[in-house]
Structure 1
């Protein structure tokens, strides 16, 4: 708790209107105050060092550094840091990465204001906050085999419009190996073709375009 007796927050989002709107919701609460706002990852890390807020509300999609890297940097400096991810990214892989990296909560931007403030209070008390809509998304894929690093690499090249022959040349493997990787990718993602596999992978947070 800050010296004012209120929960202090750092709000990190690259959209000014959303950042201001969320800050107003927080500042309207009698027990909370926003001590700083950041629009980029590097700025967020610097402001965290300066203010050491009780809670950092962090978007995953930032223009300079990925939110997961900002989370890791903050937690590396202060393992007790309370970081709540506040994002539109609802893929199970995004959620898993953030929770494994030590996020206190994972909240979608579609969350109602009163739910968001309740989650902030829970996080401040040390309670991990995973709302039902996020938990459902996470549970849906639990136990399913994930893509290997090589399969993700192949799919990223598919997303950039490369043919099997192009991918084989770039990765120094045979076309048959590329085809085998694609077969595994389609089976693991439950996709009917290459385009659908890319869409599913992006939605789940396995890869970004």
Structure 2
């Protein structure tokens, strides 16, 4: 699903996926409210989401989608890579953050990666996340939890694998987020990989 308030951008993006055999554009929306309606109807696996839109903006839409349709992976596609925008998007639980100047192949790869449960970040966004000062490194136990997160395991599965409670898993993740200076699982995995922790 493509969500952008500019018709020209939507047309351009649709064109980028026209002859890609394994990716189909099933819906388009010009704002957040349309996106929520289209999500109900079209059931997309991935949404490419602009941040600045009239009515319900990108972040508001992402938060609603995460609640109503948690199975939809959202990739922010924007012209803005300010710290505030990136932080808000990551906190809302996006699977990726790309800039609109991303090449066609990178967009295709990003959609496939997000659909498969992976995380995608534009190089400038990844650099900004990585360059944040780290207070300290995660402990070996916290890294064990993070390794399982990187493999796509949910908290319940992690608890079962490591023979700890779900509450303990959440506590470990809270500490990991704080130590890596991130706010989501996807961002934690990306930053940990870039820093050579995983």
Q: Which moved more, 1:116-125 or 1:74-83?
A: 74-83
Q: 2:10 aligns with which of 15, 19, 28?
A: 19
Count of residue correspondences: 135
Partner of 1:101: 92
Query: Is the Cα contact below 8 Å between 2:45 and 2:71 reproduced in 1?
Result: no
- Cα deviation for residue 133 of structure 1 reads 1.9
Structure 2: tracts of 5 or more residues without a match: 136-198
- Contact 1:90–1:137 under 8 Å retained in 2: no
* C-alpha deviation, 1:141, in angstroms: 4.5
Partner of 2:80: 89
Counterparts of 1:142 and 1:16, CA distance in 2: 40
Asked whether the 8 Å contact 2:4–2:10 carries over to 1, the reply is yes
- Name the Cα RMSD after superposition: 1.6
Distance 2:33 2:128 in 1: 30
CA distance in 1, matches of 2:41, 2:111: 21
Cα deviation 1:120-168 (Å, max 9, x = unaligned) = 1111110011132211133345569xxxxxxxxxxxxxxxxxxxxxxxx
TM-score by length of 2: 0.64
